[in-house]
Each structure stands twice: as C-alpha cells, then as structure tokens.
Structure 1
Amino acid sequence: MITDLHIRNLGVIESADLEFDPGLTVLTGETGAGKTMVLTSLQLLIGQRADTGAVRVGSARAEVDGVFDLDAPTARRVEALGLVAEEGELIISRTVASQGRSRAHLGGRPVPVSLLAEVGDGLVTIHGQADQMRLRRPAVQRETLDAYGGEVHATALGTYRRAWDEAVEARKERDAGHASAAEREAETASLTEALDAITALAPREGEDEELLAETRRLTNIEDLRQALERAGLALGGAEDAPGAVELVRQAVASLRDGLVFDPDLGGLADRLASTALDLDAALDETQGRLDGLRPDPQRLAEVHERRAALRELMVGRASDAAGLIEWARRASERLEELTSPSLDPRELDERLRLAQQKVLTAGADLTRSRAGLAGSLSADVDTELHALAMRGAHLEVRLASRKPGPHGLEDIEFLMQAHPDMPMRPLSQGASGGELSRIMLALEVVLGRGTEGGTFVFDEVDAGIGGRTATEVGARLARLARGRQVLVVTHLAQVAAFADHHFVVDKQGATTSVRRVSGEERITELARMMGGGSDSDAARRHALELIEGAVVPPWEA
C-alpha cells in the first residue's frame, strides 16, 4: 500500500504532502479544486503517460514521490527485477518537465518509465471512467472471470497456457521440418558422399607435408645423388686426397704425440677423437642414403595421385590434412543431427498431434472450471447490484465455443439485463456509464472476498447516483477496504461518511492545498457536500447522522 505521497507543481497543486493509512480514504472538495491531480500523481507513479500540460504554470517541472509498503510476494517480484526494497519499503519518483522528457526513479535508481508500469501493476489498481470502458472489452471480461477463480482454476489456466505454448512450438517445428525436408535430404547426401570419400582415403595428420617432401625428393633424384656424392667425397676423400675423417684422425694422432710435452693437449685430442667418430658415422649414413637412392617413377606417380586426391577433398573444406580430419568430425556430428528421428516429418506430425490433443484436454478442463465460475460470479454480482439500487439487474457470464486459441476453447462475454422486462444485451452495448461504474464496484467487491493487500483507487464510481444508492456504494467501498487500502475521489457525503480517513482538497485562487480532516472539520465538510452551510445546525446534524449510520455490512450481506 502507499504510505506517503509528495506532490510538487502538478496542475493546480503547488505543494502537497499526504500520509495514507489502511482502510477507506476519501478525497473531497469543490469541483475544479484539483482532486483529479491526486489521482494523476498516482497514475504517474505507476508508469502512465506523462502530460507536460499537467506541469503547474510557471514551473519548470512537476515532481511526484510515493513511498510504498510491499507485501512479501510484491517485494520478491521487485527484487527479481534487480531493485532493492529496504525493509519492505519502496520509493518511486517521477519528474515531468514542462519541456522535455519525464524521468523515473525506483529505490533511488533511474529506470525506464516502462519499468514503473511493470512494478506499479502490482501496487495500485486505479478505476476511473477509462477503466469502466475497458470492462466492455471481451479480453477484460475473460480476465475478470479468471481472476474470480481460486487456486484450482489458476492451475487449470496455467496448464492450458503451457499446453498451448507447446502446441505452438510443435507446429513451428513441424512446419519448419516439412519446409526443409528437401534441403536436409540434399545436405545429408552431400555430407555422406564427402565422408565416404574421406574415410576411403584415410588421411593422416601432417600427411600432406610428408607427401610434398617425398615428391621433391623423387622429382630431383639426380641432383640429390650429386649432392650426396660430393658430401661423401668431402668426408671420405679420394685415393690421392684424404677426406675430413682421415684428416681429423691425423690431427688426433699429432696431438697425442704432443702429450709428452703438454699434458693439457689430452682434452683437445679427446674432443677431436669424438668428432672423428661422428664424421665417420655421417660418412656411413651419407653412403647408405646414396646407395638407396634409385629412380622410382611408379612411386612418384602414386605420390602425385594421393596428393591430388587430398587436394580435391580439401577444396572448400580445409587447407591441410589436419583441417580435413577436423571437418570430417564436424560433418559426422551434423549428419547425426540431420538423420535424427526427431527431425523425421512423420515424427514431427505425431508430436504436433499429441500437443494438440493436450490442448483439447486442458481446454476441456478449463472450460468446465469457467462454466462453474460463470454461474457463481453472476449470482454474486447480482447480489451486489441489487444492493446498489439495481434491483432487477442481472449479469450473465456467457461462454461461446470457439476453435482453440491462446486463452482457451471459448470466448467470454458479459451480458447485462437492467430489468427483468428488458432484453439481455452485451455489456459493451447495453450498460450506461453509471451502470458500468456500479458493475465495476460490484466486481471488485466480489473479487476482493477472502483476499487482503493492495491499493484500489476509485474515481467517479458514484457518478450519477444519490440517496440510498450512494449509501450502499459507500458501504461496499468500506467493505472492500477491509484488509486493504481503498482511495476514493467522491462528491457524495453518503460515500464520504464511511471513510476511515478523510482529505479535503481546497483551492484558494490559483493554488490548491490538501489537508486531512477529522472531528468537527469533517462534519463541516460533509455538511458542505450536502449543500448546507458550514454554520447550519440542521446540515451539521444530518452530517453527524450520516457518520453514525455508516455501518459496514458483513461479506454475506
């Protein structure tokens, strides 16, 4: 509920600070005094559109701040949005510039105005003439009937919505599956052919580089032989010229001869002896390679053929053998997806059929639940309407079968019979503004049974009524205010007499103030509302009688 409301430079209100309590609070005042600005400030706090024309003339901006005490479910929802409600308290602020954009803050943080609407939807419910017109819409009538149901109905509604969402998804998958069947077949054939070729070739990682080296060796075999022969001659020497191996051995022998004169030459001699062994091994390897080097045209042809096969498979897939192997791995995974039973058109058709059957089953349960609620809601609303001076009125909730849709297997329509001698007509056609306001109140009273919490705001709910009917409206509002907060803008003393808290909106010149009244001041205001003078003893006695007679009926009334 809202506990504090601070208004600055909004319409005719220069400054107003209001503290609210649970129960029924009424706002009264002369026509044009600015009662609507209080309602406007609440609308701004719950994210409704800002009108720069509402900024007080001569002011740069209007400011509205509201402090709300949150119940546990609302606090959890606020925290789920990433906001902080310290000790269950949330501060909402709205600034409207006379020129430029409006700004919003939640818990001291700047937020988009759209977030205010998301949060405010669970904080305040405002009923004005626009909301009465909304009641004419079939969607609002369906939501009202569903809101009347308890947990069992909410479960049936949730089951149907999940079934519908699953069916919609199954249809999308089925349609996509049928539309792409030819594409999948073509892709499957292409991948299968490529994978078969890769499997048959069985490439190895690094094989392309090995084949390139072998190609160079076999293609340039004569040049390679000459290089090896030169290397062998340099290492082994010829008949008339010793090679590197013999020359190093001679050096070792000479150093060992010098050991007699310099023992330190032993280390150098040993190192050269080791070098001589390495050179001798290199000479053997060079000779072995030379002996094994023979022209092999057949092998060269085989190497060329395999390299060509590898290159052909790599085109558009990879740049080397390792990449081709990785491509094959991914292609195998994709082939498994394409051939999965879940993508089989017949399987998709069956899944859609089962999902649609779930919709029909859940829809039948929802229809039975709604049919039971319709009669009960109609009877409860009729009771309230009869108490609101619509004695012969009857509200009928009609269910008309339709093909399955996102909200069920039927359309919901409210029909109104203002009098037994009059025909039943759709609420969208047969109810006046005054009747709609009373139907709205009756619905809120009925829906409010057994629940607590929340803030309800009513504007012009008593339009076009008076006398005993006005008293009944006040009694119903007071009954609705049990366990919750109800704010009412009214011009009827019979309604205001039921208030737990009373604010008067006064206009002096171009400035409006809002003040709380009680005791004698409240009696004076009720006397004024009845058309009597503030100093009229008769009007004051009548006002006191209204207050003393404002007895709230029990829920069963």
Structure 2
Amino acid sequence: MLREIHIRDFAIVERLDLEFGEGMHVLTGETGAGKSILLDALGLCLGDRAKAEIVRPGTDRAEVSAVFDPPSTRIARWLAERELEGEDEVIVRRVIQSNGRSRGFINGTPVALQMLRELGEQLVDIHGQHAHQSLLRPATQRELLDAYAEATEARREVAERFRELRDLDRELTDLEGQDNDYEDRLALLRHQVDELEAAAPSPDGLTELENEHQRLAHAESLITLAQTQLQALSDDDHAAQALLGRAVRELEERRDLAPALGEAADLFQNALAHLEEGCQTLRAFADGLEIDPQRLAALDQRISDLRDLARKHRVEVEQLPETLEALQAQLERLENAGQRLEILRQERRAAVERYQEAARQLSRQRQEAGDRLATEVNQLLSELGMAGAALIPVIEFEAEATPSGHGLDRIELQVRTNAGQAAGPLAKVASGGELSRLGLAIQVATVNRASGVPTLVFDEADTGIGGAVAEVVGRMLRTLGQRYQVLCVTHLPQVAAQGGHHFLVRKSEAEGSTRTEVDPLSTTQRIEEIARMLGGLEITDHERAAAERMLERGGS
C-alpha cells in the first residue's frame, strides 16, 4: 500500500508531500488545476518514460519518491532475489535531470528503468488513459482469469508437467543432434579416452611424479646440504653429537651432588637420542639420492607431455584425472545412445499425455470461470451505464500449440461496447473511459478471488457518466477500498462523496509562477468542495445541504 509520496519540481508542482491511508481516496479540483499530475508523478516513479519538459522551469531536476508499506511475501521475494531489500518498507525514487536523463532507485540502490517497471506493476495498477493499463496485457488477462478460477493447483500441475517435458526434450535434443556425426564423435572420444588413460596419472601418481622431479632436479644441492649437516652434527670431532655425549657423561658423574645436574643430564640424553635418530634419517636420505640426468630428462619430458595434454583439453594439469572421468562418462552415454534414445522417446510420449491432460483440466476451469466472470462483469457494466457492453472471454484450447508453463490456451478478453457491435480486443475496441469502467467492473467482480496489486488508481473512471450511474461508480470504488487502497481522480460529486479521504488539487500563482498544490480536506471543507462541484461558481446553502446529504449517504 502507498503510504507517502514526495514530489519536488515536477511540472507545476514545486513541493508536495502527501500521506495516504487505507480505503478510498478521491482527488478533486477545478478543470486545469492539475488533478492528474499526482498520478503522472506516481507513474513516473514506477517506470514511465520521462521527458525533460516535466522538470519545473528554472530548476535543474525533478524528483519523485514513493514509500510503500512492508512488502508482501511475493514482492519481498522479488526484492531479495535482486538484493534490493529495505527495512520494513519499499522506497522507490526517480530523479529526472533538465537534460532529460533520469535515474531510478529502489531502497536506495540504483536500478534500470525496466526494474522500476517490474516492481511498479506489482505495487500499483492504474486504470485510465495511462501507461499502467495492465488489463491490456495478455499475461495479466490470463493471471486474472486463473485467480478468479482459483486454479492455483491446476496451474502448478501444468507447470510441473511442463518442466518434466522440457527436461526430456533437452536430453533428446542433445542425443538426437549427435546422429549426423555419431561415428566421428565416437572415434574422437575413444581416442581422447585412450590418450588420457595412457598418459594421465591418478591424482596421487601426479603428486608423486612432481615430488620425484623436484628431488632429481635438486639432487646435487640436497646431497651437499645433507653432508654438510651430518658433518656439523655427527662426523666432526667437535660435532654436536660428540659435545652432547661428553656433556651427558660429565653431568652423570656429578648427579649425586645436585639433583639439577641429573635432570639436565636426562634432558641432554633425550636430545642426544633425537639427534642420533635425525642423523640416521639424514644419512639414509643422502645415501638414497643419486644424480640421474637421464631420469630427470625423462621426467621433464613426461611433465611437458602432460602440460601439452592439459592445454589440448583447456584444463590445468591437476584436472586431467577429472577430465578423463568426464570423457569416459560421455563415451559411455554415446555408446549407449541408441538404447537411451528409445527409452527417452517412450518417456516423452507418456510425459506429453500427462501434460495434455493437465492442460485440459486447467482449460476446463478457465472456461467455467470465464462464463461466470462475464456474467458478473456484464451486470456491473449495465449498472455503470454501459448497458449494451459485454465482456467476452475467449478461451481456446490449442492441443497442437507449443507447450508452455501456463498451458495450451489462447486467452483474450474481448469486449463489445455497444449492442450489435462486433467484439474485439480491449486495446482496439474500448476507449479510455470505457476501458477504465471495464477495469473497475472487473476489479469489483474479482475482488474476493483475485488478490491483485495492493493499490488501484482510477483516473477519470467516471468520464462520460453522471447522475445515478455516477453514484454506482462511487459505491463500486468504495467497495474496492474495503480490500485495496484506491486512489481516484474524479470530477463528479457523487463519486467524491464516497471517498474515505479527500484531497483538493488547486492551482495558484505567486511571484509570476504557477503552482499546483494538494491539500487533505476536513469534513467541513469537503462539504464546500462537493457543493462547488454541484453548483459551480456561486455556492448556495442549497448546494451545501445537498453535499452534506451526499457525504452522509457515502458514509463519510
């Protein structure tokens, strides 16, 4: 739900800060006051295209930000997937420079215009002669019909059967695409596997190969190092081993004179044992080393061959064992491709039958729901002064159509706006005012089934109507306001009186500049405004009394 909107230097709005609540909000004002500017600003904030002309003259940029209540689970998931989470609210912001460039932000993070639109379509639905006419989109029509049909389970089953069929098709395409070069691919894979099996060692063998190469490459320096250390530790007359042995003997001779001497002798004895063991290990290592140029050359060649093989397969040398396993698995699949293909084809035939049955079941639900929806909407259209109009849901099951995650139906909401007129698509047949009223009728008909977006906006939904029909429109909008947040721009007092919140849009001039301002109205102020809408320039007590009665009937 929209909680706040803040507008700066937008068209003839210098500064505007508004707060909204639950239920139905109406915006009224004299012709030309700029009643639609607020909706234009909201649409811009939610991704509508921007033009440099909307920046207030004499300023560098226009800025609009909208604050929405904590998001629903669906919107929260959408934000989380894009790392755009906020703190218990959603803040959408748009900045338009005087040169026409613009930037969008969601919860403080810069985003592309398309992302603003995607989020905006989930937050606000604008009905009228504006860009957010989601009713014209085929996907929206399908979603609306499915929600009205309460077809969640049927849709889930179709989607699951579609994923099953898609996975089988991918594997089949992969295997069937091998037919033309089957023998060549088989020969290549066998050659690659044989080559790797002959050349590539296991991970342990590769480690041992590298260690042996290191030892041989540094054999001479290692032998010299071992001999030098043995000389200093064991072989010389003054080596560490001889010095430690002498110290142990002399301390042992005086052990009875002082306990500390005995403790020192014991520690040195242990050190002598470790020293002797270390020297033996070092001597064995030196004796085991040999300078073998031929073996080193062979190892150099072996490692070079492995590097060439790794470059050939575009991997690191240590990844060759994994590459071999992968190629062996490919070879096994290819050698068994014929048998696997037949199994997959059988599985696909069964999967197609399951998908078709799920799609037919969904289509039956849609057909039944379409009939019910048309009946409800057409009754509402009659009440809205469109007695000759009719909503005609077209739901055609196309068994030969390409499978999709939402079934095999071609769905189109067609409309006839006058008796005897041929039906056609909404976008081609319905005018702006008709489409607005049609959207209102559909929203009212589906209010208890289709969840929809949290905020609905109706811009001049009452165009071309008056009298009793206008009051019907007002009641319908108030009914919607019991479940959704509703914003309505209206010029009819019958509609304005139904609102729970009333904003007056007025134009003023100061210092040679024209400004649009929007003010929330008290009950007394509402009586004056509705009286103005009833009577015109001169407001009499008669108009005030009529306005007060209207507000009482509207429950305000």
* TM-score, normalised via structure 1 length: 0.71
CA contact (8 A) 1:504 1:517 kept: yes
User: Residue 124 of structure 1 aligns with which residue?
Assistant: 124
Q: Which moved more, 1:156-165 or 1:444-453?
A: 444-453
Match of 1:192? 190
- Secondary structure at the counterpart of residue 6 of structure 1: strand
With over 3 angstroms needed to count, the CA separation of the structure-2 counterparts of 1:521 and 1:197, relative to structure 1, is closer
Q: What does residue 337 of structure 1 align with?
A: 330
Residue 78 (structure 1) aligns with: 79
Q: Does 1:385 align with 2:384?
A: no
SS in 2 for 1:514: strand
- Quote how far apart the aligned CAs of 1:480 are: 0.2
1:375 to 2:371 alignment = yes
Aligned partners of 1:156 and 1:362 also within 8 Å = yes
Matches within 5 A, 1:502-521: 502-509=502-509, 510-521=514-525
SS in 2 for 1:40: helix
Matched residues in 1 for 2:310 and 2:110: separation?
52
Match of 2:51 in 1: 51
- Pairing 1:103–2:100 present: no
Q: Quick check: 467-476 or 352-361, which moved more?
A: 352-361
Q: Does 1:91 align with 2:87?
A: no
Any conservation in 1 of the 2:48–2:131 contact (CA below 8 Å)?
no
The 5 Å alignment of 1:392-541 reads 393-402=389-398, 403-405=400-402, 406=404, 407-418=406-417, 427=426, 430-449=429-448, 454-509=454-509, 510-541=514-545
| Structure 2 unmatched runs, 5+ | 213-297
Number of equivalent positions: 452
Aligned to 1:555: none
Matched to 2:521, the amino acid is V
Query: Following TM superposition, by how much is the alpha carbon of 1:129 offset from its aligned partner in structure 2, in angstroms?
Result: 1.6
For residues 376 and 131 of structure 1, do their structure 2 counterparts lie closer, same or farther at Cα, with a shift above 3 Å needed?
farther
Deviates more, 1:471-480 or 1:367-376: 367-376
Q: Distance in 1 between matches of 2:199 and 2:10?
A: 82
- Aligned-pair RMSD on alpha carbons? 3.8
Change (3 A) 1:57 1:331: same
- Cα deviation, residue 424, structure 1: 5.1
Kept in 2, the 8 Å contact 1:415–1:424? The answer is yes
Partner of 2:287: none
Paired with 2:374 and 2:17, the residues of 1 have a C-alpha distance of 42
Structure 1 residues 376 and 98: alpha-carbon distance in aligned structure 2, compared to 1, 3 A threshold: same
Contact 1:191/1:331 (8 A) holds in 2: no
For 1:176, the equivalent position in structure 2 comes to 174
Q: CA deviation at 1:488?
A: 0.5
Cα drift, residue 186 of structure 1? 2.1
The answer for the alignment partner of 1:289 in structure 2 is: none
> Structure 1 6/331 Cα, relative in aligned 2: closer, same or farther at 3 Å?
closer
Relative distance call for 1:189 and 1:327 in structure 2 (3 A) is farther
Question: Are the equivalent residues in 2 in contact too, given 1:470–1:494 (CA < 8 A)?
Answer: yes
Partner of 1:112: 112
CA distance in 1, matches of 2:401, 2:308: 49
CA contact (8 A) 2:128 2:433 kept: no
Alignment-derived partner of residue 357 in structure 1: 353
Secondary structure of 1:520's counterpart equals: helix
Q: What SS class does the counterpart of residue 549 from structure 1 fall into?
A: helix
In 1, Cα distance between equivalents of 2:517 and 2:197: 89
Change in Cα spacing, 1:78 to 1:22, as seen in structure 2 (3 Å) is: same
Q: Using the alignment, how far apart are the partners of 1:504 and 1:194 within structure 2?
A: 79
Q: What amino acid does structure 2 have at the position aligned with 1:337?
A: Q
Tell me: CA distance 1:35–1:160, structure 2 relative to 1, closer, same or farther (3 Å).
same
- Tell me the alpha carbon deviations over residues 115-167 of structure 1, each in whole angstroms, 9 at most, x when there is no partner: 333333322222222469764554443333123232xx122223323433443
Whole-Å separation in 2 of the counterparts to 1:201 and 1:431: 74
Q: Is the 8 A contact 2:25 2:488 kept in 1?
A: yes
* Contact persistence 1:394–1:418 (CA under 8 A): yes
8 A Cα contact 2:128 2:435, kept in partner: no
SS of the counterpart of 2:114? helix
1:546 to 539, 547, 550: 550
Change (3 A) 1:497 1:184: same
SS, match of residue 477 in structure 1: helix
Q: What's the counterpart of residue 161 of structure 1?
A: 159
Structure 1's 362 and 193: CA in aligned 2 closer, same or farther, altered over 3 A?
same
- 1:297 corresponds to which residue? none
Partners in 2 of 1:460 and 1:325 — Cα distance?
Answer: 71
Q: 1:83 to 1:177 in 2, by over 3 A?
A: same
CA distance, structure 2, for counterparts of residue 536 and residue 40 of structure 1: 34
Return closer, same or farther for 1:465/1:174 CA change in 2, 3 Å cut-off.
same
Checking the alignment, whether the CA contact within 8 Å between 1:91 and 1:108 is kept in structure 2 is yes
8 Å Cα contact 1:50/1:96 also seen in 2: yes
Deviation digits for residues 389-442 of structure 1 (CA, Å, limit 9, x no counterpart): 234543232322323342422212334355666555554555444332221101
Q: Distance in 2 between matches of 1:424 and 1:180?
A: 50
Partner Cα distance (1:393, 1:126) in 2 = 22
Contact 1:177 1:348 in 2 (8 A): no
Distance 1:42 1:189, change over 3 A: same
Matched, 1:32 2:32: yes
Structure 1: 5+ residue runs without aligned partners?
211-305, 553-557
Give 1:102 shift: 1.5
Displacement, 1:172?
3.8
Partners of 1:127 and 1:457 within 8 A in 2: yes
| One-letter amino acid matched to 2:102 | S
Q: Which residue of 2 aligns with 1:262?
A: none
Local SS of the residue matching 1:170: helix
Cα distance, 1:331 vs structure 2: 3.6
Distance 1:168 1:459 in 2: 43
CA contact (8 A) 1:104 1:116 kept: yes
Structure 1 residue 75: Cα displacement: 4.0
Alpha-carbon distance, 1:67 to partner: 2.0
TM-score, normalising length: structure 2: 0.71
Spell out the pairing of 1:126-275 with structure 2 (5 A cutoff). Answer: 126-130=126-130, 135-136=135-136, 138-150=138-150, 153-192=151-190
SS in 2 for 1:383: helix
* 2:377–2:441 CA contact under 8 A, matched in 1: yes
Superposed displacement of residue 453, structure 1: 7.5
Alpha carbons 2:436, 2:458 under 8 Å: kept = no
1:374·1:397 contact (CA, 8 Å) conserved in 2?
yes
Query: In 2, Cα distance between the equivalents of 1:195 and 1:423?
Result: 69
Give the C-alpha shift of residue 386 in structure 1. Answer: 2.5
Q: Distance in 1 between matches of 2:387 and 2:85?
A: 49
Matched-pair contact (CA < 8 Å) for 1:453–1:483:
no
Cα distance in 1, alignment partners of residues 528 and 34 from structure 2: 19
Query: Given residue 186 of structure 2, which amino acid in structure 1 is its aligned partner?
Result: T
Q: 1:459 offset after TM fit, Å?
A: 0.7
Distance 2:196 2:415 in 1: 77
